[in-house]
Amino acid sequence: MENPKPNHGKQPMSSSSSFSCCSRGVDDGAIESECWRNWAELGEDALSLIFGKAGVVDVLMGAQFVCRSWRSVSLNPSLWRLIHIGGVYRGISWKVDMERMAMEAINRAQGHVQCFSAGALSSDTLLSYLADRTSVLRCLRIIPTYKVSCKGLAEVVGRFPLLEELEITFPSLLTRDVFKLVGEACPHLKCFRYNQQGSRSKYGQDDEDAFGIANYMPELRQLQIVGNRLTDKGLLAILDKCLHLESLDLRRCFHVNLNASVRAKCARIENLRCPNDATNDWIY
């Protein structure tokens, strides 16, 4: 592949540029040989690392079409073991079928998807498609869940026997049965995130989620329930049943008071985030 040439009609690049050699006063030939690299000649390992950081959309809509070697790397199943499609992709035509793109990423993994997150694309249809094509999934993130029903989740979660990490954020269509079905279907589950917006209303107290977690997920090591409506009573149930907890995130759980007895039981938790702790690292 032929490399682009420097535009000598433009002002020289500043010393802050990542191409630091361009500010050393060397001649054009040195600049060309030192700064302009043939990306097509990068090794497969280096390209795989770059493609992995670029993400699903950039690889499927751009990088794979650059040259044959890049196309070859984009077809390597190991590149697609971790699939993450999130955020808003500005500039992409509304005609682009993002769900179909997610399915293509799943296909390229050839049965070896280990971690899957599709953001707003998450749906019963997409989860079913995933379950039909991998049995080695260890991490599943459903954010948000506007198109994922309890029935749809129930039909697929049992087909991921190795699942260790599950995140469900903004569970709009899910019922309280989700804790039972996930707990029974995923005995190896170690990390569970079940996050909501949170409310300070005094009428919003509800410990049913906490009781469900306590009764059906006793092997958890990490639990994040940002914005949950549980009280100290529900928290005590979790602490009494989930004896292996190492990390507990209670941010925006405004009905938890952390009284003396609760704080005493929380002392064994290595990483505890309290209701009023900052949420700047929580992007939702």
pLDDT tens digits for 187-234?
Answer: 899 999 999 877 766 677 899 999 999 999 999 999 999 999 999 999
- Structural domain boundaries in the chain: 34-75, 79-189, 196-284
Report cis status (omega within 30 of 0) of the bond before 187. Answer: no
Q: Which amino acid type is present at position 164?
A: E
Q: Of all residues in the chain, what percent carry a pLDDT higher than 90?
A: 47
Q: Are 272 and 245 in contact (CB under 8 A)?
A: no
Q: How far is CA 89 from the centre of its chain?
A: 16
Residue 92, pLDDT score: 58
- 79-125 pLDDT tens trace: 899 999 875 555 555 546 788 889 999 999 999 999 999 888 889 99
Residue 49, pLDDT score: 81
Please name the residues in contact with 283: beta carbons below 8 A apart, sequence gap of 6 or more: none
199 by Cβ neighbours in 10 Å (0-12 / 13-18 / 19+) ranks as middle
Q: What is the DSSP letter of 235?
A: H
Residue 114, pLDDT score: 96
Tokens of 224: 């994040």
What is the rounded distance in angstroms from the CA atom of residue 43 to the CA atom of residue 51? 12
Residue 2, pLDDT score: 46
Sheet order of strands, 82-84 included:
82-84, 115-117, 139-142, 165-169, 191-195, 222-224, 247-249, 271-273
More confident residue, 194 or 175: 194
Please name the residues in contact with 27: beta carbons below 8 A apart, sequence gap of 6 or more: none
Residue 8, pLDDT score: 46
Q: Are 152 and 131 in contact (CB under 8 A)?
A: no
Please name the residues in contact with 264: beta carbons below 8 A apart, sequence gap of 6 or more: none
Q: Are 231 and 255 in contact (CB under 8 A)?
A: yes
Instruction: Tell me which range, 43-57, 92-106, 160-174, is most confidently predicted by mean pLDDT.
Output: 160-174
Nearest to 21 by CA among 8, 34, 38, 39: 34
**Cα three-residue angle 171-175-178, rounded to 5 degrees:** 85
Residue 202, pLDDT score: 67
For 79-189, which CATH class?
Answer: alpha beta
Give one DSSP letter per residue of 80-115, joined into a string: GSEEE--S--TT--TTS-HHHHHHHHHHHTTT---E
Residue 38, pLDDT score: 63
More confident residue, 97 or 41: 97
Is residue 43's pLDDT more than 60?
A: yes
* Residue 263: count of CB within 10 angstroms of its CB: 13
More confident residue, 144 or 105: 105
Q: Give the pLDDT band of residue 16 (cuts 50, 70, 90).
A: very low
Q: What is the DSSP letter of 171?
A: -
